Every structure is written in C-alpha cells, then in structure tokens.
Homo-oligomer: A and B are copies of this chain.
C-alpha cells in the first residue's frame, strides 16, 4: 500500500515542543478540506531506506567502534561537534569521545582557546553560551587530533583546505572516511575543483558532503532544521553519516549526488548576490522571486554542465531550494550586494 499517511504532515517532523501547539492541527482543516486524500508515504529522513533506525550493532561492530574527529572549530564546526557528540553518546557504534581540532588562539584573558573549550565545555569565541557536550575534546595538534579517527568531519574555511590536506597526507588511518561541510570550491588554472574531490584525491579516502539551510546559531539553540548528505556510491557510509548527524531537531537525508549537493552549497551564493541587487534597487517581491527561480534553474544547468550525473531532484532537497531561500533572504552575500546596489555601485563590496 503506497499511500499511508495523511498529506498535511508539514509539522510532523518538528520536535514535540512545537508540534504539540494546539493550533498547528488547524492547518489541516484550512486545507480546503483536501485532507480527505492521502499522500504518498514520504521517506522518513531519520530512517533511510534499508537502514534500521535503532543502533542494532553486531558484536563485531561494537568491537570496531568508529572514532570521530571534527577538523575545524569555528561557528559551524562547533555546532557540528555538538550535534555529533549528542549522538556518539547514544549510539553504540561510535566511541563517545569526539575530538575537535582547534586552530589555537590566545584569548584576551591570556588563556589558550583549546584549554578554555576543554575546561568550560564551550567555544567561548565562536559559539558562546552553548555547551558542546562533555565528550567533545578540543585538540590544537592537527596530527594528533586525526590519528585514531575513522570518521573525519571537515569544516574549515575553504581556502585552508588545500594546506590542511597536505599536512594530513600519511597521517590518517587508511580506512578513514571523510565528510565535508565546507561551502565553496577551489578554482585552479586547470578548472574548478570541488572540496570533496580535493579531500578524496589528496588523502585517498571516500568523501561525502553535508549541505543545507543551516544557519549555525539557530541549530545551536536546537531550532528545527534539515540538511542533505551527498554521497558518490557507498550508501552504507552515507547512512552512517546520517546517523551521526541526525537529531530530532536536525533532520538529514542522503542523496546519491555528491557533486549536485556540493555545487548547491557553492552556487547559491552567486544567486544571493543577484537577490541582493534586487533588494538594493527596490525591484520588488515578484522580481526577487523570479531571480531566485531563474537562479535555481541556472544552478541546475551549470551543475549539469560540470557533472552530467547531477540530478534535478537534488535541487528540491534542503541543500537546494531551502538553502537558496535562507541565503537569498538573510545571507552575507545578499547583504553586501544590497548595500553595493544601494550606493549605486560606488562602494566596494568590502566596504558594503
């Protein structure tokens, strides 16, 4: 039986604190009485196809618990560590401890950032006010941080990745798997190079990506959000990443389109610049929606031009249309472009 659930489940994947609002169910009756119909049973993102949601590990798997290291400790990196640390405590297939490589800084107090993180259990510089979980261990030594890890989460500014990869060659486990949360791409003389490809080629390991409409500070305070994992071939690895990141307020789906997912995370910023111009020129809502739509279409066309394997359906995922929406409404690129246009192009993007 294909149709099992009523359609208007818009809030079904929200955490209980929200979905229990008494009037949410009203949207049902407002739905032009269409709720008599039944909709297809959407895949539950927390329970991807072929996967058992509970962590039913065999004896062997328990013996081979995965160790996770987060490479990066900025705003998004710290939130990622928090998400992951809440899951490694619950899931028996992962070691509790989550190591987080910290680019060491001396704080105004004279203390080292990594020491403060380990003492206060909080990244006081990049994610103040949020407890990361006691099982997050900050480590300023990159080589030491990655040494035992079987799962590497890369979340640094994209311009540092080439240097980091060079430092990691020969220093990681051979069976390690990687995921990149980095938006952007390297553009070299020989053409553009995706960050996941850089990681994969330099380190000789499998690399997935995770992208989506993910304003880090909102996820940090556990507001509902979605994300997309893109994988190349190995669905099992993708499912493991999904398990590692998924929480009741952070819903992750996996799609077999690593390039499509990664390009969404990069190209949306170009569209956001156009959206910012529209705002600065006060061209109105119709124009902004049109520019976002045309932009999404061009993202799709451009991605397919680079990689013919890119799927249309990827642009309906969180990494596609949803991330585009947040970026075109609130992102930094949009804001700079708006200010730039407002001053008739007479202020540089940097000053805007």
**In the assembled complex, which residues on chain B have CB atoms less than 8 Å from the CB atom of A295?**
10
Residue interface bits A297-321, CB-to-B below 8 A is 1, else 0 = 1101110111000001101111001
Contact A293:B322 (CB < 8 A) given known A21-B281, A27-B274, A284-B215: yes
For residue A306, which residues in chain B have a CB less than 8 angstroms away from its CB? 37
Oligomer copy total:
2
Q: Which residues of A175-232 are within 8 A (CB) of B?
A: 184-185, 187, 192, 213-215, 218-219, 223-226
Is A321 a contact of B296 with CB atoms below 8 Å? yes
Contacts of A305 in B (CB 8 A): 3, 7, 37-40
Q: Known contacts A289-B325, A293-B321: does B39 contact A301 (CB below 8 Å)?
A: yes
Q: Which of A240-292 contact B (CB under 8 A)?
A: 251, 266, 270-271, 273-274, 277, 281, 283-292
A18 contacts partner chain B, Cβ-Cβ < 8 Å: yes
One of A28-36, A84-92, A143-151, A164-172 contacting the partner: A28-36
**B345 engages A21 (CB within 8 Å):** yes
In whole angstroms, how far apart are the Cα atoms of A317 and B10 in the complex? 22
A323 at the B interface (CB under 8 A): yes
A13 within 8 A of B: yes
Residue of B nearest to A38 (CB): B305
Q: Please, which residues of chain B bring their CB within 8 A of the CB of A22?
A: 345
- Inter-subunit contact B219/A298 (CB<8 Å): no
**Beta-carbon contact of A326 and B289 below 8 Å:** yes
- Which of A184, A301, A304, A306 counts the most B-chain CB atoms under 10 A from its CB? A301
Give chain A's interface secondary structure class: helix
**Chain B hits for A32, CB < 8 A:** 184-185, 187, 192, 266, 270
- Tell me the count of chain A residues lying within 8 A, CB to CB, of chain B: 87
Q: Top 9 closest A-B pairs, CB basis?
A: A23-B345, A225-B286, A213-B289, A293-B322, A289-B322, A218-B284, A223-B284, A289-B325, A10-B274
Known: A21-B341, A289-B326, A312-B316. 18 other contacts (CB 8 A): A7-B302, A8-B298, A10-B274, A21-B277, A27-B274, A32-B192, A34-B270, A34-B302, A39-B302, A40-B304, A40-B305, A213-B290, A219-B286, A226-B286, A226-B294, A290-B318, A293-B316, A293-B321
Q: List 21 A-B contacts (CB under 8 A).
A: A7-B302, A14-B287, A21-B281, A23-B277, A23-B340, A27-B273, A34-B270, A37-B306, A39-B305, A215-B286, A218-B286, A223-B286, A224-B283, A225-B286, A225-B287, A225-B290, A285-B326, A285-B330, A289-B325, A289-B326, A293-B325
